Amino acid sequence: MSTFAFLGTLEIGFIYGLVAIGVYLTFRVLDFPDLTVDGSFTLGAAVTATLIVLGFNAYLATLAGALAAACAGLVTAWLNLRFNILHLLASILTMTALYTINLRVMGKPNVALIMEPTVLTPFESLGIPNMYLKVLFVAACSIIVGLIVAWFLNTQYGLAMRAVGANTRMAQANGIVVKEKVYVGLALSNGLVGLAGALFAQTNGFADSTMGIGTIVVGLAAVIIGQSMFSSRSMVVIVLSCIIGSLLYRVAVSLALNADFLGFTASDLNLITAVLVGLALIFPQLRNEWKAKRAKGAQQ
């Protein structure tokens, strides 16, 4: 892999690290499988790109993109909590609606940002080559955001949120307002995903109505890969392992792209990626089984 390709892999990995943290919040912390992200990733990108093209400041536009996506999360939470629609179904409804909303926001299926000012523009005068600058910027974004989320999950409020996901009844019995935690959790999660969409659009030069497809799968893969590599109770380690999982997922995709020598063709990419991610998932379990066997052998 060339340096340039490797940096690109890292860049996209860090951006999807934010998605992974968002998916971790809903899927693991709140135990709320949320497919809204397939739509909110695009919503973040669509709002940001449209505002930038209209001449708004890129930072304001990015913030607006993240907030819009957070609102999408609130809608899913509302459908689930207010009307008792199954969480999975509620999120599918929001995701479906978002497809149309995204087209409405952009007014067309694709908004180009090449040559427009972005969040990177203020740093371009520093003289760092663009390919390094992009990676440094998104790495800083995702690590800082990750640390803030880890800190948040360790506050009294965050602990209450974790309690809701771990045992809803117990949490309720301890006087935690469960609904409020779900609203906040889904807004935060989708806000992070929207932020990722906004950054992706700006570093890659376009927002496209199809860009969110498969976001949930990528996010889940990152969370699971990351957590299968590090087992820890520290929130900081857990949240950062989501980012590392995302980076490893992108490396897997890169390897799949370079698999030509094994006789694979361009159309085999999805299968190769699935197998590589699958291996990453299976390996820790096999390792544990071997360890257990060995320990047993040693005892006898």
Partner 1 sequence: MKLHAVLKTMLLSASLAVSSLHAEPVYVVSTAIVEHPALDAVRDGIKTYLEEHGYAGDKMRFTYESAQGQPAIAAQIARKLVGEQPDVIVAIATPSAQAAVSASQDIPVVFSVVTDPVGAKVVPSLNQPGSNVTGLSDMVNVKQHLALMKEFLPELKRIGIPFNPGEANSVAIVEAMKAAAAEMGIEVIESAAPKSSDVMIAAKQLVGKAEAIYCSTDNTIISAFESVVKVGIDAQIPVFAADTASVERGAVAAVGYDYADLGHQTGELVLRVLQGEKPGDIDVKMAEGTNLFINSKMAQRMGVTIPQSVQQRANKIY
Contact footprint for partner 1 (CB under 8 A): 1-9, 11-12, 16, 99, 103, 108-110, 112-116, 130, 200, 203-206, 208-211, 213-214, 218, 250, 253-254, 257-258, 260, 266-267, 269-270
State the minimum distance, in angstroms, from the CB of residue 62 to partner 1.
Answer: 17
Task: Work out the widest C-alpha separation in the chain, in whole angstroms.
Answer: 73
CB nearer partner 1, residue 155 or residue 258: 258
State the minimum distance, in angstroms, from the CB of residue 79 to partner 1.
Answer: 21
CA distance 293 to 254: 35
| Contacts for 105-108: CB closer than 8 Å, 24+ residues apart | 105/43, 105/46, 105/47, 105/50, 106/46, 106/49, 106/50, 106/207, 106/209, 107/50
CA distance 241 to 249: 12
CB nearer partner 1, residue 108 or residue 169: 108
210, 262 Cβ separation under 8 angstroms: no
CB nearer partner 1, residue 116 or residue 180: 116
State the minimum distance, in angstroms, from the CB of residue 267 to partner 1.
Answer: 6
State the minimum distance, in angstroms, from the CB of residue 68 to partner 1.
Answer: 19
Q: Which residues of 44-59 are buried (b: 16+ CB within 10 A; e: fewer)?
A: bbbbbbbbbbeeeebe
State the minimum distance, in angstroms, from the CB of residue 28 to partner 1.
Answer: 22
CB nearer partner 1, residue 5 or residue 159: 5
Q: How far is CA 285 from the centre of its chain?
A: 24
CB nearer partner 1, residue 110 or residue 285: 110
CB nearer partner 1, residue 71 or residue 269: 269
CA distance 292 to 229: 18
CA distance 262 to 144: 39
CB nearer partner 1, residue 2 or residue 84: 2
Helix, strand, or coil (residue 110): strand
Report CA torsion sign: 159, 160, 161, 162: positive
State the minimum distance, in angstroms, from the CB of residue 127 to partner 1.
Answer: 15
What percent of the residues of the chain are helix, what percent strand, and what percent coil, each to the nearest 5?
A: 80, 0, 20
CA distance 279 to 272: 11
- Alpha-helical regions (H) of 167-268: 168-173, 178-204, 215-229, 235-257
For 11, what's the count of Cα atoms within 13 Å in the CB-facing half-sphere? 20
State the minimum distance, in angstroms, from the CB of residue 51 to partner 1.
Answer: 16
State the minimum distance, in angstroms, from the CB of residue 65 to partner 1.
Answer: 16
CB nearer partner 1, residue 183 or residue 200: 200
